[in-house]
């Protein structure tokens, strides 16, 4: 079987989910390819959309939040939004690609390619089995105007809201958000620290800026340094080289701060740390919960991350506060409260499961097999 997984460079979470799904297919001996589908129209298009999104989120998060709320209103009053028509322009590119590179299943951990696939279906273009994968703990605007064969939800708690928005119940599967197999490696905190060369007897805060950076990230590190004495601070900047260089310059004489850029060892750092500071992105939060890491959620990007944080906090899977000062205070409190850590990890284990990628692969195989058997009758 051959799976084509279409993502989009608007933040790292979608791509991480795509890679996790591909990994699950490869483990079964099947073919799977991850493609930035906007590149079908040219790399310049992908770069323009991706960079534009990142810059809006970084520099004008309140504007992004306003657009998100506007999208919620628009999605309630129309079944075909501007997002649908804009992504409809990608149909000819995707149609040509599928003619040259046929696939048995099209998996989309991003709204944009799902909109394109829906446009293609309505125009009578040939499509394989289509599976949409949601990567936030909410039904973001415009999912309801898509028409895929299946929708993979992050949690059962989202089912009612998705049905209310117009997604058919029979198309819903609540597998969770796909995460890499490395998030489920059966290794201890001590083993992870040995692998990373970290002190076995120290306490570690891990601050994840993410590939898009994090609001007040530099101030967060400064407040952790100022309000702690012996704890070590791991600052992971992802692809944000600007913040990485600023942190290295600012804390070059501070032995307790280790600044890291992009790393493919993130699951090991998550397992090695005692408390994680991260913005409430769906993917990073899910990875941390699967691994079992006490979480302090920092300021969300207004919109879906606001809902992610609320979902995690209500379920006892994370703590947070309205201000950066409060978030740091909560983190220090959590670091020094083993019972609270244990309780939070237990809540995470109860709510979040790590086998979504494998379940998506299994669903794909069973659906394609069923479709083939019907065709041969």
Q: Are 210 and 281 in contact (CB under 8 A)?
A: yes
Question: What SS3 class is residue 32?
Answer: strand
Residues of the chain with pLDDT under 70: 10-11, 44-79, 210-215, 372-377
- Quickly list H helices, the chain: 12-27, 43-59, 61-77, 82-88, 91-100, 111-122, 159-165, 189-196, 217-227, 241-250, 266-272, 282-291, 304-314, 324-335, 338-351, 356-375
Residue with tokens 């309780």: 343
Burial of 199 (0-12, 13-18, 19+ CB in 10 A): exposed
- In the DSSP assignment, the letter for residue 300 is P
Which among 252, 269, 257 is positioned nearest to 226, based on CA atoms?
Answer: 257
Per-residue model confidence (pLDDT) at position 371? 73
Q: From the CB of residue 181, how many other CB atoms can be counted at a distance below 10 Å?
A: 15
Per-residue model confidence (pLDDT) at position 78? 56
- What's the whole-model pTM score? 0.89
Q: Are 168 and 143 in contact (CB under 8 A)?
A: no
Per-residue model confidence (pLDDT) at position 241? 85
Per-residue model confidence (pLDDT) at position 167? 95
Q: Are 21 and 109 in contact (CB under 8 A)?
A: yes
Q: How far apart are CA 6 and CA 39, in angstroms?
A: 10
Per-residue model confidence (pLDDT) at position 211? 47
Per-residue model confidence (pLDDT) at position 65? 47
What the chain holds in terms of domains, given with CATH numbers, is: 2-179+354-375 (3.40.50.2300), 181-351 (3.40.50.2000)
Per-residue model confidence (pLDDT) at position 253? 93
């Amino acid at each position: 079987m051959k799976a084509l997984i279409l993502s989009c460079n608007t933040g790292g979470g979608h791509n991480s989910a795509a890679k996790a799904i591909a990994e699950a297919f490869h483990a079964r001996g099947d073919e799977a390819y991850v493609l930035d589908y906007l590149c079908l129209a040219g790399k310049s298009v992908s770069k323009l959309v991706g960079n534009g999104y990142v810059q809006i989120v970084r520099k004008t998060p309140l504007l992004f939040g306003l657009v998100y709320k506007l999208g919620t209103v628009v999605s309630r009053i129309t079944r075909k939004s501007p997002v649908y028509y804009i992504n409809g322009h990608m149909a000819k590119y995707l149609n040509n690609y599928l003619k040259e590179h046929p696939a048995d299943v099209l998996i989309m951990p991003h709204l944009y390619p799902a909109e394109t696939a829906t446009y293609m279906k309505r125009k009578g273009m040939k499509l394989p089995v289509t599976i949409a994968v949601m990567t936030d703990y909410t039904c973001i605007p415009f999912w309801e105007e898509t028409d895929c064969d299946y929708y993979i939800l992050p949690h059962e708690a989202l089912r009612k809201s998705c049905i209310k928005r117009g997604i058919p119940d029979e198309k819903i599967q609540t597998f969770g958000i796909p995460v890499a197999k490395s998030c489920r490696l059966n290794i201890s905190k001590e083993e992870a620290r040995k692998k990373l060369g970290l002190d076995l007897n120290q306490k570690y805060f891990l601050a994840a800026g993410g590939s898009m950076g994090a609001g007040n990230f530099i101030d967060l590190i400064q407040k952790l340094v100022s309000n702690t004495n012996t704890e070590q601070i791991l600052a992971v900047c992802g692809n944000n080289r600007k913040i990485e260089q600023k942190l290295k310059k600012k804390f070059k004489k501070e032995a307790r701060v280790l600044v890291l850029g992009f790393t493919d060892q993130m699951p090991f750092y998550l397992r090695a740390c005692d408390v994680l500071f991260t913005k409430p992105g769906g993917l990073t939060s899910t990875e941390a919960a699967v691994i079992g890491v006490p979480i302090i959620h920092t300021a969300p990007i207004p919109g879906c991350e606001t809902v992610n944080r609320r979902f995690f906090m209500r379920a006892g899977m994370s703590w947070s506060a309205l201000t950066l000062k409060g978030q740091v205070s909560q983190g220090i409190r959590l670091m020094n409260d083993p019972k609270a850590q244990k309780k939070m990890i237990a809540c995470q284990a109860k709510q979040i499961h790590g086998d979504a990628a494998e379940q998506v692969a299994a669903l794909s195989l069973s659906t394609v097999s069923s479709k083939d058997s019907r065709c041969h009758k």
